[in-house]
Each structure stands twice: as structure tokens, then as C-alpha cells.
Structure 1
């Protein structure tokens, strides 16, 4: 009996892959399995070869695997697209003669079966019921879910499709991959969240009341999520004409007392560089959600990569403090996004949340955590007639007023300015104001999240952002007691407290989803020795089985 089972669904955009994902992930969770799903898709509205991977287990699994146990290709192209992921142990659900493989074939013509009940579009529902039944799960769960999703004629035809799929499963018998469910995973309070939803809920918890963005994959999900929640939570939503305008509108919202976020990817963030610098000199808070995809230029718009770390740290001309956060799962997406609003407000700086397509579009089984009743703290002050927006202070933070709240005049300017906010070319004032802004970095260091060290081994496998759970499971598979894990979610600025564990006499292996090892370069700038790097930049995330092999190979060199 296997510890976990992986199911791969392949097909064209428009064939209902997302519907199968919804049915199976909801169904498996209700049946008592820990569930994870991720997807890779081409940059087109219809057609192409797209896949969704679903993993179920009796223990928590929150990472993808390359080799699959059950494969349902809804068209020929998707079969050949995923051919390398099939082994002799794979169960293939397809019409005999359509494909040639050495795996176990369940000979079923799903499109013809769907047409036989009057709707060719429900072949995906038949497939979902067949897979569900193959793994010994109760069809009643899927019927319950379908009843929640559809009404009238569509409900009736989908229920008939479920019956057909269940009968096929019964005729074939349970496959050898049946695993026992875990009643713990049925906990009603557990969450099944994507990274996108984590950032969306975190924005709401952080007091966001304005989002302005220009749609750009893979960040657009946060824009549409908050748009759907806008009436409930009082969020003003604006789709800007471009990324430059989106950022500037966000600054305007913060200047006038709002709490704003903008969402983008690498190409859009490149256009925001001037606005980022404006945030720096005017000391106006701003929160940016940067969901990475492979570049340069348009690159691979719907794929994943960790290629924009340096962009997020160094973009924007001039020197000014900023914070870059890189969550590793939806729980961290929630917590760090809420934190981003608080940090931006407290230190009057831009804060960047660095995600990627893999994390944004993957769904994780997250054990219930307390959101808490903490309300966002507003640090806006009521001004008096003598108010100085940029008055010098012991810690570099000036009281932040907004227009119309008090008697003071709130002046901000992109030129260097006096304490009152008036343009100046005085060298002494320049030194005072620049020093004031940079002084805040010392306070920000105290906020830095110190990564936990998992394990006591002398070989540290280190990652940041979305590689978190992939590294964790890969290391568990290897089972080498010499290995410990460190994951960074606060990636800039790096404090000495974060780096202390890395200054010990240990071997460091850095895993990154990019071609040049950007975080390893950052560590070296801080005097940390990096012994080995494992890099990947083909547009896909690491897979657990892939990474475990690469780690095992690296460990042999270290012996």
C-alpha cells in the first residue's frame, strides 16, 4: 500500500481540467485525505497541452512529484506532453489504440460515453468519478459536491456522468494504489488554500481598502479575488491603464490615508521602478505583490521561476530602505501579507511580497491556524499648524499626517526636501534627510524573521520562498541524518540574527528555482560560504523525486 498517490489530468484549455481538479480535491479532502494540487498550463485561452497534478495521502503532502500513478489524458497532445512522467506502474485511463505505452491501460472512451448521455462536455465528470472509485472512495461525496456546484439540467447530467464513472470503477475493481484515509484530515476547520487566496485574505486582514493593478499573469488572481470581496470588505478596486499608473494610484491612496496594494509580475514591476523610488523619497508606504514568472521580457507568461529576487531588491534608483518577503505556502502568504501592510505603514517604506506562479496557483492542505481578532493599527496622526512631514527624529520615522486631518499642511515632493516638505538643494539638509531615511534600516533589522533550523546535521539545505515544502519532503525521502533545513521567508534586508546559523562550520547547499543562484549570491555578499547549488529554470517548479535525486548526488560529493 502506497504512502501517497499522484493523479495527473491532461488536456486542452477549455476541456474542463479545472472542473476535475475542483471535484477531486474537494472530494478527496472530504473523504479523509490530505490533498495537494498544482497545475502547469500554456499561454492561450483555448487549446495547448495543460496538466493538473493532484496528490493525496494519509499524511500531509504539500509538494509535487514528477512520476505519476494515475494519468487521464483528455486528448492526444497532453499524453505526449506528459509522456516522460509515465512509468510501467502508471494506470492510464484512455481508449485502447489511441496511445502506446508499457503501463496498465484502463480502456475507456470517455468522450463517447459523455456523448451517449447527451453532453460531450461531461467526460471530465466521468473521469473524476472513475478515479475517485478506483481509489475506493464513496461516490456519494462527489454527488454532494456536484449538487453544490450545479443546478437543474446541468446537475442532472453531471449526476448521470458520476454514475457512469462509478460503474466503470466498479467494473475494473480498486487499483493497487488504494491508501487508507486519515480521519484527522477531515477536520472542518482545515483550509485548502492557494497562494493567491492566502495573499488575498492577508490583504483583507492587513486592512487593505484599495487595490489598483494592471492584469499580468500570474498575479491577476489576487486582483480578481479582492474584486469579488470588495463589497463585503469595503475595498475600492481599480484596473489601471498600465503598471506605472497602478503604482502611482497606490501611492496616492496611502498619501490620502488608505491602505493599498498593487499586483504585478516581473515585466510590470520593471515599469514600477520609478514609482518605487518615489515611495522611497516621499516616505509613502506601499505594498506590492510580485508574482514571478520566467523572463526576460515576456518569457513564459504562465510558468514559474524565482528569477526576480535581485529585481525586487535593487530596482528603483537611489538608496532607500525596503523589505522583501517570500512566503513558502498559503499560510505564510496570509501572515506575511498582513505583516507587509503593517511594516509599510510603520516604517513608511515599500514592502514587496515575492511569490511565483507555482505558489500562486497551487492548492495546499493547511491545518487550521488562528487568524486572530487583531485589527490593523493606523499610525496616522492629526496634524497641527506647525506640522512638519519630514521632521527629524531619533529613529528616522517622522509622524505621518494626511491632507485634511488636522490643521497642518502635508507637503510631499519627489525632489529632496526640507523637514516641511519644501524643495531644497542644501547639501546639509540632503545629508540630514537621506540619513534619516536610511536610519530606519536599523529598526527594520529587528523585525527580520529568523528562520528555524530543522534538524541538527552539519549539512544545511537552504531555500527561500516557494521551495519550502519541496525541500522538506525531498530531505525526508533521503533520510540522511547529516542534513538540516533552513528556509528563508524574509529575504531582504538580511540581519545578522538570520545569518548566524550559517556562519558556523557547516556545509551549505542552496536550492533555487532560477539559473544564476540569486539568493546564494546575496548570501556571499554577506560573507556566507555557499558550497553547493542546485538550480532549475525550465519554467517548472522542482519536483520532490527530482530534487531528492539531485540532493542525494550532492551529498555523495560531500562524503
Structure 2
């Protein structure tokens, strides 16, 4: 039997909605099912309307669904806002003793607060009772939820764990005993699974650690704060150094200092935080210092909607900084991409001594997904041309030139403090030794030297991914977190008889103009799908290939695309 079931858990910030969503997700993942979790929350600690959505399938899932099968409402506002999203036969779980509302056939009242007090000993256990109630409605294996609760609360002591298990059991038994005859949808375990369940931010932080990143500095900003937190939490285990800087400018300068000293280093910020880092980005470009910067997009300008999603910083990342210098901009769209492209970012940064930007958004950063364990045997660490002490001695005492002219543009790199050499550089224009100059000839040679590196970077990039037939009549083009929604939209449209495929770009700079140009030449119609108002990818395609797409499917309200949104837009435009 095909399983495609979506929970929506709604209430106010501070009611433990994320805990419900996470516990449900982990329990289903343990049972061999595939899970996708996304969050919608306001920029406030308490109050306001917040929801978490969990989609469960028996096959891989990459995105959210507009259709809701079960609504877990911790307040009346959630019912009012989301009851019309329920599919036919969908269920609403709520506390009828606390939410005065006229119950209909699909309303299932569970005394959440009463059971939390009686079995858990505190109102704080309402979310745990609600989790158990949802599991009971579906007749899912309670032991899997018990395992999750022990994992999550074990560090808080035996009493806390047992209180949560009792509260969950009370909700489970109540809904199962009272409603199983009325609500018959069942989700069964498919067997044990060792898949990971993590979000994009955790995947990036994990990738950085695996890549050998030893230093990170940052100032907390949504949506990249979890990257800082995850890295910091692993500092003792992996001998890492994390600094919460006083501001973004300090953060990038610390990272540049670490990179100069030979340490793999990274910072993470939001788009408006990166605006403060741009001077530092140029310094990394001029001094040819390898750094990695993660930039999480959110709607702007300025602070904008700090907890929502956006893809409006694409052109900013490609052009940020004064004058011209090489860089790479990666745009992962999946958890797997986030991990592997982070490792590649460090390799490219060091091999070519350039800044590399990993451009994500709130939707990718905060959304969780079940993924297979990463095969660490495939990890390769490439540090580029790093000189040994023997090689430096062979040059002669203090003959090392940090910015030596080479055919590739990449100068041999020495670590400061290595006996027999001075590693001199400057943010002013400089000569091969790194000392400031003013003459036109050296300036010209240095600019061309730096730019030559870009040719090597281009050769390192993999082509865009195609999902569906390469010769499809309709091509949907996306980048970043739109991957999952476009992919599923392609599946739906093809089932409906439309000849469509997806071209997915996870490296936007260097831009893969040959591959994109070829794909556009094969398609009769092409559409970009982007979370911005002006179609920035479409602009980039035109400037790099000279070709225009047929249309733009744009969304800039701070919310992510759903597959059905894309399906509707494509059908209207193709038939219109």
C-alpha cells in the first residue's frame, strides 16, 4: 500500500510544536519510512501562529505537500486557519475541554491537558500527549516512539524520561481506545532503519567537520544560527575552535586570519549579515586567502522577514565586492548536496586560494529529511599546492614569494612560521613577494594572475543535473531548495501526459553556460522556478548564454514552493 501522509501541528510559539514534529518524524524514520519536516514560524519567542509539517512516505520524499491528512491543533486559531487544507477523511486532534468549538465528524477531542497533568505531572507534557494521540490514531508501533523519547530525554534523567513515556502512552491509549473504529487509516513500520534524520544546516556543519574545518566564527542570524550551534556543540569531540564574534565584520576577518595561517575556516550568516562581510570578501580575494562562507537567504531588504525563505541574493553573491576577483558559489538543494558540496567548497577554496560561498535559504536550512548515511570512504581532502619545509629550503633562504606568477594563477602556498620563509601579503595591490606596489605593469599582471584561477575552477565543476528525459519538450530550471518541489512536479506532470524534465543547477558560479545553453536548445518551452520577484536565475541565464527562457514561475511571499503550485502554473502557461 502506498503511504503518503502529512501531519500539520499548529499553535503558538512556545507550545512545543517542534518537539511533536521531531518526535513523530524520528519514530516513523525508525520504522523504515521516509520523512520530510518543514517549519513555519514567526520572529518571536512566544505567541503568534506557528506550525510544523511532517510528511511520511514509503518511498523517498524531497518536499512538502499541500494536502493535510491530520491536523494536530493546540489552539483554536490552528483549526480556523488550516481546517480547509484537510483531505477528505482527514482528522483534527484537539483538546475539546480547552478549545470551545463545535465538533464535526472528523474532529477528535483528546483531553491533552488533563492527561498531561495526570500522567506526566505537568502541563508542559501536552505536546508529548498529543504525539502519543497521533500515533494511537494511526495504530503505529508505540515502542518506536518510546525509543525516541529515551533518546531525546535520557540525558535529563530517568524521571523525566518515564514521565514523557507515561504522557505519550496516555494519549496513545486514549485515541486508540476511543477512535480507532471511527478512524481507520493505519501506518505500519516497514522494518528498522539506520537512515539519518537531519536538516540542511546540520548537513553543512557536518560536511565542514568531515572536510577538516577547524575554526569557525560567526554572529548568530536566522537561518544559519543552527550551523554555528552544531559546530560549537562538537568542538570538544573534534578539537574545533568556535568564536561567537561581536559582529559579522569581525567574524569574516577572524576566518581570513585562520585561513592565512593554514587552517580550514568558515563563517555562516544571513544575506543582510553578509552585506557587512563584503569588505572582508574582497580582502580574501586580494590576499588569495581560502575561506568558506555560508549565506542563508531570507526575505529582505534589511531585516525583512527573518524567519522566512527567499532566493533573492543570487546575483548579490556572484557580484559582491569591489572590482573583479574569482570566487565560486554553490547552491545545494538537498541534504546530500549540502554535505558533499561543503566538502568540495573547502577543497576548491584551498586548491585555488579563493573565497567559496555556499548559498542556501531558510527552507533548506531548517527542513529535516531522512537520508542514507554518507559514504565517508568517498571523502577526499585536496589542499592544493602546499609547500613542505624541504621544498622551501630548496628555494634558498627567504626566497619564497607568496604571490608568485604562475601559468595557472595559483601560487605555491606556505604556512606562516615555516622556517626559512616569510609569508607576506596585503589588501593593497602587491608584487609577488606580497609588498605594496603602485606601478601599472605589476597591477595588470596581478589582476590577470588572479583571474586565471577561474579557468581551473571551471574544470572542477560537475554539470547541472537533469531529472527526466534530456530531450523533453518542457524544461523546468531551478537552483537551491526548489529541487524537491520541482522534482515532484515533474513526476506529477509526466503522469498527466506532459513531456517535461528538470534542469537543476547546484553550482551557479562558475555558471555552466554550455550545459544550460544545450538544454534550452533542446526544449520547446522552458521555465525558471525561483523564490524571488525578478527571476534572477533567468537574468543570469540570459547574460551568460544570450538565451531567454519562455517564462518565470516566481514566489516571493517568504514561503517555499509546493509541487502543486508549480504544476498549476505550468499547466496554465502551456495551455494558456
Conserved? CA contact 1:510–1:533, under 8 Å: yes
| 2:433 alignment counterpart | 420
1:447 to 435, 456, 460: 460
Q: Distance in 2 between matches of 1:102 and 1:543?
A: 29
CA distance change for structure 1 residues 263 and 402 in 2, over 3 Å: closer, same or farther?
same
| 2:532 alignment counterpart | 514
TM-score when normalising by structure 2: 0.92
Matched, 1:193 2:198: yes
| 2:488 alignment counterpart | 473
Matched, 1:178 2:183: no
| 1:113 alignment counterpart | 115
Shift of 1:2: 5.7
| 1:489 alignment counterpart | 506
Q: Distance in 1 between matches of 2:344 and 2:513?
A: 21
Shift of 1:302: 0.8
Shift of 1:88: 5.0
| 1:263 alignment counterpart | 268
**Pairing of 1:152-163 with structure 2 (within 5 A):** 152-163=158-169
Conserved? CA contact 1:306–1:513, under 8 Å: yes
Shift of 1:54: 0.5
Q: Distance in 2 between matches of 1:315 and 1:519?
A: 16
CA distance change for structure 1 residues 324 and 157 in 2, over 3 Å: closer, same or farther?
same
Shift of 1:125: 1.0
For structure 2, list consecutive stretches of 5 or more residues without a partner in the other structure: none
Shift of 1:191: 1.9
Matched, 1:58 2:51: no
Q: Distance in 1 between matches of 2:102 and 2:351?
A: 61
Conserved? CA contact 2:526–2:550, under 8 Å: yes
Moved more, 378-387 or 535-544: 378-387
Moved more, 242-251 or 32-41: 32-41
Q: Distance in 2 between matches of 1:100 and 1:484?
A: 47
Q: Report the secondary structure of 2:501's partner residue.
A: strand
Shift of 1:41: 0.7
| 1:543 alignment counterpart | 562
TM-score when normalising by structure 1: 0.95
CA distance change for structure 1 residues 535 and 503 in 2, over 3 Å: closer, same or farther?
closer
CA distance change for structure 1 residues 387 and 219 in 2, over 3 Å: closer, same or farther?
same
Per-residue CA distance 1:479-498 (angstroms, 9 max, x = gap): 23410111110011213443
Conserved? CA contact 2:141–2:189, under 8 Å: no
Q: Distance in 1 between matches of 2:44 and 2:239?
A: 33
Moved more, 485-494 or 365-374: 365-374
Q: Distance in 1 between matches of 2:58 and 2:82?
A: 26
Q: Report the secondary structure of 2:399's partner residue.
A: coil
Superposed structure 1 runs of 4+ greater than 4 Å apart: 100-103
Q: Distance in 2 between matches of 1:512 and 1:375?
A: 32
**Pairing of 1:21-420 with structure 2 (within 5 A):** 21-83=21-83, 85-86=85-86, 88-96=88-96, 98-99=100-101, 104-117=106-119, 118-150=121-153, 151-170=157-176, 171-173=178-180, 175-179=183-187, 181-183=189-191, 186-188=192-194, 190-372=195-377, 374=379, 376-379=381-384, 380-382=386-388, 383=392, 384=395, 385-420=398-433
Q: Distance in 2 between matches of 1:187 and 1:110?
A: 31
Q: Size of the alignment, in residue pairs?
A: 554
Moved more, 152-161 or 277-286: 152-161
Shift of 1:180: 5.2
Q: Report the secondary structure of 2:561's partner residue.
A: coil
Moved more, 538-547 or 5-14: 538-547
For structure 1, list consecutive stretches of 5 or more residues without a partner in the other structure: none
Shift of 1:100: 5.3
CA distance change for structure 1 residues 173 and 455 in 2, over 3 Å: closer, same or farther?
same
